[in-house]
Amino acid sequence: MNYDFSVGFWRKRGLKAAIDRKEDSQTWAGHSLRKLPADCFAMQKLLCQCRPQVLVELGSQYGGSALFFASFAREAGMEAIVSVDVVDLPKPSVPIATFITGDSSAPEVAAKVKALVGNRTCSVIVDSNHHAEHVDKELALYAPLVSPGQALIMEDTLVDVLNFKKFRAEGGPLRSIGKYMPSHPDLELAPGIEPYITTNYFGYWIRKASAP
């Protein structure tokens, strides 16, 4: 299956304007949250539809995103958040979150995450090192954790769409998506989720529900 990952001029122009205004540098309850507000709303919409028991987040940074997800956990049916980051930065107290320090592309770290998820339904957010080589490894390790009917959210595909110099040679998350998805047709773009102004172009996926 081939995907058309083209993005129109005005969508790119709108995102560039939002980034120039630093709208991707927000706070949630006073803690750093590096996401566009529109993407935050899109994520809560998708997660409330999917209602995962566990949310796995790759890329904790300062913990503001885990705090954000926890704020609507009850409404989304989430029991736990497992968040991984290679650097142990100061984070807020998030009672339902377990923070793991380590390289998310390392099999031993993925094994810890898998053990914490157990047999519960799981959605996954990929938002750590955006270089394609790293994202390829994360997809291989964590996409299988995504349960039928659950979400796989790939963040910051803008680095490919806007052709960031740092990612031109190797590519970023969108290049990884283009490699991974054709051989995994059980994952499909979630309809009605992606905002017009987004950093996550073609980043909202859902695993098809199992047949009854």
Is residue 193 assigned to a domain?
yes
pLDDT averaged over the chain? 96
Q: Which of 34, 38, 32 is nearest to 15 (CA)?
A: 38
Is residue 1 assigned to a domain?
no
DSSP string, the chain: --------HHHHHHHHHHHHTTTT-EEETTEEE-S-HHHHHHHHHHHHHH--SEEEEE--TTSHHHHHHHHTHHHHT--EEEEEESS-------TTEEEEES-TTSHHHHHHHHHHHTTS-EEEEE-S--SHHHHHHHHHHHGGGPPTT-EEEE--THHHHTT-GGGTTT--HHHHHHHHGGG-TTEEEPTTTS-SS-S-TT-EEEEPPPP-
Is residue 19 assigned to a domain?
yes
**pLDDT of 2 strictly over 90:** no
What are the tens digits of pLDDT across the range 26-37? 999 999 999 999
Q: Are 172 and 164 in contact (CB under 8 A)?
A: yes
The pair of three-digit structure tokens given for residue 100, joined into one six-digit string: 């793991």
CA separation for the pair 82, 74 (Å, rounded): 16
CA separation for the pair 58, 74 (Å, rounded): 21
CA separation for the pair 159, 154 (Å, rounded): 12
- What CATH number did the domain enclosing 110 receive? 3.40.50.150
Is residue 37 assigned to a domain?
yes
**pTM of the complete model:** 0.96
Is residue 4 assigned to a domain?
no
For 118, the domain range is 9-207
What are the tens digits of pLDDT across the range 45-90? 999 999 999 999 999 999 999 999 999 999 999 999 999 999 999 9
CA separation for the pair 150, 119 (Å, rounded): 14
Is residue 97 assigned to a domain?
yes
CA separation for the pair 168, 196 (Å, rounded): 24
Tokens 């028991």 — which residue?
53
- Number of domains into which the chain is organized: 1
What are the tens digits of pLDDT across the range 63-73? 999 999 999 99
In one-letter notation, the amino acid at residue 133 is E
Is residue 28 assigned to a domain?
yes
Is residue 23 assigned to a domain?
yes
